[in-house]
Structure 1
Amino acid sequence: MDLLYARAQMGLSLAFHIVFAAAGIALPLLMVLSDLKARRTGDAHYVTLSRKLAKGTAILFAVGAVSGTVLSFELGLLWPELMGTYGEVIGLPFALEGTAFFTEAVFLGIYLYGRDRISPSLHLFSGVMVALSGAASAFFVTLVNAFMNHPAGFTPTPHGPVDVDPVAAMFGPSWLHQTSHTLVACYQASAFAMAGIHALVLLRHPGSTFHRKALSIALPLACATALLQPLIGDLSAKHVATAQPVKFAALEAHFETARGAPISLGGLPDVETATTRYALEIPKALSILAFNDPDAEVKGLKEFPRDEWPPIAKVHFAFQLMVGTGTTMALLAALTLFLRFRRKAWPDGRRMLWAWLLCGPLGVVAMEAGWLTTEWGRQPWIIHGVMRTADAVTPVPHLAAPFWTFTLVYAFLGVMVVFLLVRQVAGTLPGHEGAGGHDAHDDPEPSHAH
């Protein structure tokens, strides 16, 4: 039971933190893009947008810093065997992440308080550094997770790692696939959320030029990442098929080794009967996905010891949710770009605004589902093939108390963040002071966002 509570607390902390970390990575980029647009056009709406995004970044950065600090303590307190045994192997990316975090904090302060005190070029540079530092912070943390999925850079022994090479451990075989997949997911989730928020306002207030222009900043990043992510995901899946075949089999609830293996869409995995009921199968698609060969052999779960199976149903459902939401976002992005190039303007009809509103949360859903797929799919290992999760957990009992305490704290923080962000958006609605010192509703007619 204590192992369950330890995993639940770590999972809750990460699920909460990843949302704010993603926003802290992507909002500075959107902020800089707004600044660049303002410098190029002289439009006060983009200046207002960059100010709003900077305030949002500050709020999310503060909450992300708190939840990230909690996570650093939880790593040592809940998983002492992991950190005590392999701390020297994974310590370097943690140290570099700390450096990136402090760099981001310094330049965020300069950006927030130096707008009218330093030169415009230096102010823009500070924003660029916030964006780069946020991405670097996520990059280094993800390298640790890549190591846990595909360890390298040491020789395992019964007494711990020897011949440790921290750089080789940091850049193991999985680093490129996992870091690119994670970073693009962060930009995609934030851009889709921003597009959904401004689409909602435009459905209620079609005459708001500010929100139309804000949507024109979010849509290019949302469309680009939505179309890029499936390509990265395909490369990642091919790597998993080779490096973690049991995880790959769990993704598709694939029990029997077969050539020309089909992909299972949906379905209910039944571990006892080793079948997936009600699934729609696409012949040979799994072999193509894994090895680019319609007749390639794909190992099934039965090829591996039962005690090394991850939770099949959870992994399968999380993976299906990730792929389903990702596909939906890619289709919407493709349609949006088609209309953009056909009409020479970003589509702003009610149907497209409703589509973006409904798809706004999907980036976060896909990101959370992808993270669950990665973590559940690695079980029962905390370091794949080297250390089991049960062997890394703390021997301290009564872990239910901190779990419920942190659940309440995260709920309170979540409510406060939503309240503060809603106030930021509400300040740009008609009836409030709008961009350029006037009410956004005062524009004589809606303009098309180019």
Structure 2
Amino acid sequence: MRTVAIIGRPNVGKSTLFNRLVGQKLALVDDRPGVTRDRREGEAELGHLSFRIIDTAGLEEAEPGSLSDRMRRQTEAAIDEADLVLFLVDARAGILPADETFAELVRRSGKPVVLLANKAEGRGGMAGAYDAFSLGLGDPVPLSAEHGEGMGDLLEAIEPFLETGEDEDDEDRAGKPLRVAIVGRPNAGKSTLVNRMIGAERLLTGPEAGITRDTISVDWRWRDHPIRLFDTAGLRKRARVEDKLEKLSVADALRAIRFAEVVVVLLDATIPFEKQDLSIVDLIESEGRAIVIGLNKWDLVADRPGLLKELRADAERLLPQVRGAPVVPLSGLAGEGIDRLMGSVVQAAEVWSRRVPTAKLNDWLAAALSAHPPPAVSGRRIKIRYMTQVKARPPHFALFGNQLDALPRAYTRYLVNGLRETFELPGVPIRLSLRSGKNPFEGKKKTWD
């Protein structure tokens, strides 16, 4: 089993992340720095990965022989033992000198490193996460260990280092399974669809709503594409979920969404776009997954001319946050439309992983600014300097300039819609972070010679 060590200065959330990964509160957590002293080990699971995790004391510069020095030596031993180092920083506090010192220590170890920007929930945290680029340890993965946000991104970051591939050749590794979750309201036909896809009665089905409780994963192959399907419990309105078992089932379904790459939202074509359907799409968009909308039970409404065109227009109107998401008619019971659905799923995964060259981005940005300049604030025009893509899966762009905090939401929507249309990014969430430069003369009085 591979070993992962969590490293960082005191009070950045190492023990909170450790507890999150082992699934129980094994490590003491407190707001005071230095609570963890000894190395603590546990068996961690994240998605389909299992590994040994080591929680370490916060790294501090200390006098030789002191308690802090002995704690530091324990941490250095954990780095030596690890196959992968998770270097944790506090996105809200920003990068401190201690982070830079210990980043150099980790870099000198020669071990693979994944940089994590913890406490990145909310706009303030996300802005601070990008300061971590200055450490030179690669792209930071923003997450919140306390709230469980960003665990899907963490899985993607560590997966290449932890999958052993002992019984796979290089060709098989290049074709690792695409993770696809099937979600929707109860009785939308999710289990029936999965059974028809794999050609076996693998999952229990019936007319009763709520038969599926656990999230079940099934490996399958579609046209030489390895696929891992996740059938999930039906998601009802939160106010209606009272039974403890149903709450656990819903939590399991939400976990499947976080670890999926593409999520198929299965709608009942006889009653599509109910309020709960829209809430489910909102949830998936907030998790940053690619979305495909499946109109199941299409055989019951196929005789209504113009219905598909009408429903696609409804999707554009009701779901602007994932504009262009494929809307695919199908029948899980009859086995119709599955190839169309899977073609859309594979294409959505490609769009979700797409990267746009910085030169092309800035050529587009110059044209967009020329066509529609940003408004002035207090008589001073907002200055946008450049844009870059900081990550994919989903596409995430950073915009740099002055006074960007004052940029109206309508203008950021204009930019996001332009990115989606120009670079062909339909149906995937697009993230846009605003980075304003600091004025070095702010707060200083003018002096005249």
Common fold: TM-score over 0.5: no
Structure with the larger strand share: 2
TM-score by length of 1: 0.25
Higher RCO, 1 or 2 (CA under 8 Å, sep at least 6)?
1
Structure with the larger helix share: 1
